[in-house]
Amino acid sequence: MGDHRAALDEIERRVEAGETDLSSLGFWKVVGAIKREPERAAYAEQVGRIDRAAFEARKAPLFPVWLGNAALFVATLAALAVVEIGLRLADGRLGGSAQPDWGGALIVAAAGGLSASVHAPAHWFAGRWVGMRFTRYFLDGPLRIQPGIKTDYASYLRAGASKRAAMHAAGALASKVAPFAVFGWVYTFHWQRDWSLLSSWSIWALLALGLGQIVTDVIWSTRRSDWKKVRRELGVARDGG
């Protein structure tokens, strides 16, 4: 325990001095070792304090968790409403002639929006279920437009590795399920209309959206994002962490 404490003290001192690249400071290597120790909870508060200080110094803007959850809940309801509007537009229930192409386009766009809006709240829900806390919403991704949610690392570290893996998996799974859920919803009406409600391209586009996200996960997320973290934590669990 002493070796880890000395390393954490030095890292915390350097973060307080303005250094925020935790990888270059060796922080994650120390945390990886701590995760595999039975007494990991003894380090939780300091690890969480260092992680939060470095994170908040690097990321801006930051938003309260309640605000992020509320905004994404509204976005989810809006996406579901757009799917219904697309169905009504496709079969002419909006007062005009049937518009299967425009209706299909709205539905595909809504499925993409739904996939994005359920991701972070699924992390939050699964994490809270197993006792984790969260500190902030932030803007993530290459274009800094994807909503991300930051764990409180003290509570994250106290949780077992299998619980941490489940939290990471929840967001990834929710995003992948969303397009297929929309597909199942609209395909039921499409089938009831003798497969004439929507344009074929929109049905195939929904499937392509879902399958494309799975391919993206296999190629990218297993190396850089949620599934990489799932594999990491399952490895910790196998080591007894």
Q: 163-173: per-residue pLDDT in tens?
A: 999 999 999 99
Strand partners, 138: 62, 148
The whole-model pTM stands at 0.93
Q: Are 87 and 197 in contact (CB under 8 A)?
A: yes
State how far Cα 134 lies from the chain centre.
Answer: 13
Q: Who wins on pLDDT, 76 or 220? A: 76
pLDDT, position 30 = 96
Report the distance separating Cα 26 and Cα 148, nearest Å. Answer: 24
C-alpha pair distances (Å), 238 with each of 37, 75, 144: 13, 38, 35
Domain limits of the chain?
Answer: 1-58, 60-238
pLDDT, position 7 = 95
Q: What is the mean pLDDT of residues 235-241?
A: 87
Q: What is the mean pLDDT of residues 125-147?
A: 91
**In this structure, is the dihedral angle defined by the CA atoms of residues 124, 125, 128 and 130, taken in order, positive or negative?**
negative
Only one residue has tokens 């909503």, namely 147
How confident is residue 2, by pLDDT bands cut at 50, 70 and 90? low
Report the distance separating Cα 158 and Cα 155, nearest Å. Answer: 5
How confident is residue 177, by pLDDT bands cut at 50, 70 and 90? very high
In this structure, which amino acid lies at residue 43? Y
Ramachandran quadrant class, 63 (left: phi over 0; alpha: psi -120 to 50; beta: rest): beta
Reply yes or no on whether the pLDDT at 217 is more than 90. Answer: no
Report the distance separating Cα 220 and Cα 164, nearest Å. Answer: 20
Reply yes or no on whether the pLDDT at 41 is more than 80. Answer: yes
C-alpha triplet 149, 118, 31: angle, nearest 5° = 30
